Amino acid sequence: MLERLNLQQSDIDALRARPIPAQHLWIDGRACAAADGATMPVASPIDGACLGHIPLAGEADVARATAAARRAFDSGVWSRSAPVFRKRVLLRLADLIEAEAPALTVLGVRDNGTEFAMALKAEAGSAVASLRYYAEAIDKTGGQIAPSDPARLALIHREPVGVVGAITPWNFPLMIGAWKIAPALAAGNTVVMKPPETASLSTLRLVELAHEAGLPPGVLNVVTGPGQITGRALALSMDVDVLVFTGAGGTGRKLLEYAAQSNLKRVYLELGGKSANVVFDDAPDLAVAAQAAAAAIFRNAGQVCVAGSRLLVQRKIADAFTEALTRAAEALRVGDPLDLSHDIGAVHGPERLASNLAMVDAARAEGARLITGGTALHQASGGSYMAPTVLADVAAHHRLFQTEVFGPVLAVTAFDTEAEAVALANDSALALAAGVWTGSLSRAHRMVQAVRAGVVHVNCYGGTDLTVPMGGQKQSGNGYDRSLLALEKFTNHKTAWIQL
């Protein structure tokens, strides 16, 4: 349906001109302020303008939210309701999001800077799809009767776990938020969500719509504020049974510590990537591969966890391929993400822009060769923009090869043999995604087996679907979002022995 909207620039301009309403925490079905009235400003990466203020929830507010979630869970109003009831509410929520997808997308883009076309599909579109997928799944999945001793009946019940804490990142807050809350709520849990402090607005609208859809009070609560205050309090809560997180590896480590310091809650982490996109000289269409390699790193200004940020290219074609890729990079129009003539939007704020540029300087100091980009753009706008950047001659020991930039910066490394390509691809502590371009079916299968990653694309890169899991290997994470597997995070299996 979203594809058929055919939005014009004037529609987007009208939505952008809408004032942003005052923002509230959502606790126990009610909009409220932080107990001490604290707030924090929100700046747009598009032009640096202040979009308003969000509440800064402290420990007391988080405690109120987790207590509300616990009460709602224990009451059974949601956790013991018929699956078909939960399904109806979640489907209504999906319809409400779909009905205001353009407005919700513009609000989110003002907050995080993603190019509008991508955000419409990836944010509102994915949220709708996730809610429908898990709503439809939940009255079709059940427990089991075990093939056990016939004198006794062994039942395996599926139960919701309890209170879920969900902490989300700014690059796709609505999509990733929905990947957490849709299966959690469908399975009967209650949730306290902490969206990213620099991109909370779309989540705060989502929780309003959830209540409009008929979600009982206390079932979905949202607390906003900085990670070190609000997120930390949620992760340390004795009332949270499962913590689901997407974000940086360093934060993930802290969450494991908080779980150890509190109630040993289950912690599921979806973390960063430094994904290798491997191009062999027998790739069927090098022009297509070059375009795709540019899209793999530069869409959303490189702020995509599965971005193909390391390009490994066979030496024989390395120069020609890098040239084609550079042409594709230089053709991308970077600028205001709400201007439909732009392909790539903003970097998420001045600190991220500075750290991207510092990474380029560090790479050059280590001997990498700057091919294109490496500069800030549109500085007079007050926003944060960066030219798509390609660096060649990046060696495996360079920082740029090993560290996630999370910006529009591509590291290019040449290789000679398939074995060398595998070794380079796997020479990373991170293992989220990979790409392989080859005309050989056997080589494609060998590479899929040999490369450590949660997903390997062959002769394509990116594209997502709810039917398949998404999760990292090594230090890229320990859980799965999407697919029926995600329900497992939010489900306990309880055995009952019945003597016959």
- Which of 336, 472, 482, 487 is close enough to bind ligand NAD by CB under 6 A? 472
Position of tokens 């992760």? 235
Q: Does 202 bind ligand NAD (CB under 6 A)?
A: no
Collapsed DSSP state (helix, strand, coil) of residue 410: strand
- Span near ligand NAD by CB under 6 A; candidates 59-67, 84-92, 247-255, 411-419: 247-255
Minimum separation from the CB atom of position 365 to ligand NAD (A): 23
d(CA 136, CA 189): 16
Site string for ligand NAD, 378-407 (x = CB under 6 A): --------------------------x-x-
| 305 belongs to the catalytic site | yes
Q: Which is nearer to ligand NAD, 73 or 268 (CB)?
A: 268
Q: Which stretch in 107-115, 224-232, 321-329, 365-373 sits in contact with ligand NAD by CB under 6 A?
A: 224-232
> Least distance (Å) from ligand NAD to the CB of residue 381?
23
Helix axes 101-112, 173-186, angle to 10 degrees: 120
- Min separation Cβ 146 and ligand NAD, Å: 34
Taking the complex as a whole, how short is the minimal distance between the CB of residue 433 and ligand NAD, in angstroms?
9
**What residues pair up with 165 in beta bridges, in sequence order?**
192, 243
Q: Residue with structure tokens 């705060």?
A: 204
420 belongs to the catalytic site: no
Residue 475 Cβ, how far from ligand NAD at the closest point, in Å?
A: 11
Q: Which is nearer to ligand NAD, 170 or 461 (CB)?
A: 170
In terms of Cα–Cα distance, which of 391, 390, 476 is closest to 434?
A: 476
Stretch that binds ligand NAD, among 15-23, 106-114, 202-210, 227-235 (CB under 6 A): 227-235
168 binds ligand NAD (CB under 6 A): yes
* 3 state SS for 276-341: EEEECCCCCCHHHHHHHHHHHHHHHHHCCCCCCCEEEEEHHHHHHHHHHHHHHHHHCCECCCCCCC
Of 270, 330, 351, 488, catalytic: 270
Cα–Cα distance measured from residue 164 to residue 289, given in angstroms and rounded to the nearest whole number: 41
CA distance 256 to 265: 9
Spell out a b/e string for 93-107, using b for 16 or more CB atoms within 10 Å of the CB, else e: bbebbbeebbbbbbb
One of 98, 115, 123, 305 is an active-site residue; which one? Answer: 305
Applying CB under 6 A, does 270 fall inside the site for ligand NAD? yes
Please state, in angstroms and rounded to a whole number, the distance separating the CA atoms of residues 28 and 66.
9
3-state secondary structure of 430: strand
Cα dist from 224 to 60, 114, 243, 273, 494, whole Å: 13, 21, 16, 26, 34
* 170 makes contact with ligand NAD (CB under 6 A): yes
Q: Which of 64, 70, 132, 194 binds ligand NAD (CB under 6 A)?
A: 194
- Tell whether residue 274 is a contact of ligand NAD (CB under 6 A): no
- 228 interacts with ligand NAD by CB under 6 A: yes
The stretch among 8-16, 191-199, 326-334, 367-375 that binds ligand NAD (CB under 6 A) is 191-199
For residues 126 and 175, give the distance between their C-alpha atoms in angstroms, rounded to a whole number. 5
272 binds ligand NAD (CB under 6 A): yes
Strand order in the sheet with 491-499: 144-145, 152-160, 491-499
**Which residue carries 């939007």 as its tokens?**
345
Per CB under 6 A, 227 contacts ligand NAD: yes
Catalytic residues: 270, 305
Binding site for ligand NAD (CB under 6 A): 167-171, 176, 194, 196-197, 226-228, 231-232, 235, 246-248, 251, 254, 270-273, 305, 404, 406, 432, 472, 477
